[in-house]
Amino acid sequence: MGGWQIAGLGYTRQGYWSLPTDNYPTGNPVELYGYKYPIKDCQSGTCYPGYLWWNGYIPSNRINSYGANGKPNGIMGVPSNYKPAVAPLIPLGQTALPANAPSSTNISQFWDTNTVWIPLKDGSVQQTTFNDNLNPFRNQYKLAPWQWFQDASAMKFFNIKEHMLFRFSVDFFNVFNHPNDPTAVGANGVLSTRNSGSGARVMQLGGRLQW
């Protein structure tokens, strides 16, 4: 076309992400929402866009919550039928003492932890963090968002002399500057779209002298 040669290369891919193993099943099934529920993560004080990709664990005081100043300070847009599939052994808000915990235990100090109390043979109780490395969600993978990529290039030859040519080329990587969604999904179920899942468009110029 006008002496230019144009070429392109495109591909698409879909990866996986693993279910978290730092929390434990609640009995509620794992639900994959995909792009069904757009949310805003305002926990840092600034609201960032994303999607509730699955029903991970969101502390109860961060679900559609507002601070004393009336500004959002949680994950906004969580549906009313949300029930987490995983949670710490002592989720936020629990008031009942876990098994073997001393009666003087201030349970609120252990919210959102996997703290347990183990009775010993001498009758004492040892506080520790539970982890048997046999979480039911270990090695459990789910499909991540689709990503697609497109590169393109154009080149043209210029005659300098009878046996001498100059080739000028321009290459575009991510030619459409498409900001794919990331493939990492948080333990709280959020797919953050704050950052792009692919690099910005890059243009490369080249020249070659042939004789």
- pLDDT tens-place string over residues 128-141: 999 999 999 999 99
Residue 158: domain span: 4-89+130-210
* Two tokens, residue 8: 């392109």
Kindly tell me if the per-residue pLDDT of 2 is higher than 80.
no
* Two tokens, residue 176: 């459409």
Residues 144/91, Cβ–Cβ less than 8 Å:
no
pTM score, two decimals?
A: 0.83
Kindly tell me if the per-residue pLDDT of 162 is higher than 90.
no
How high is the pLDDT of residue 82? 97
Residues 169/155, Cβ–Cβ less than 8 Å:
yes
Measure the CA–CA gap between 92 and 110, rounded to whole angstroms: 8
The count of domains in the chain is 1
How high is the pLDDT of residue 21? 93
Residue 154: phi, psi to the nearest 5?
A: -140, 145
- State percent of the chain over pLDDT 70: 100
Measure the CA–CA gap between 67 and 73, rounded to whole angstroms: 6
Domain assignment present for residue 30? The answer is: yes
How high is the pLDDT of residue 8? 95
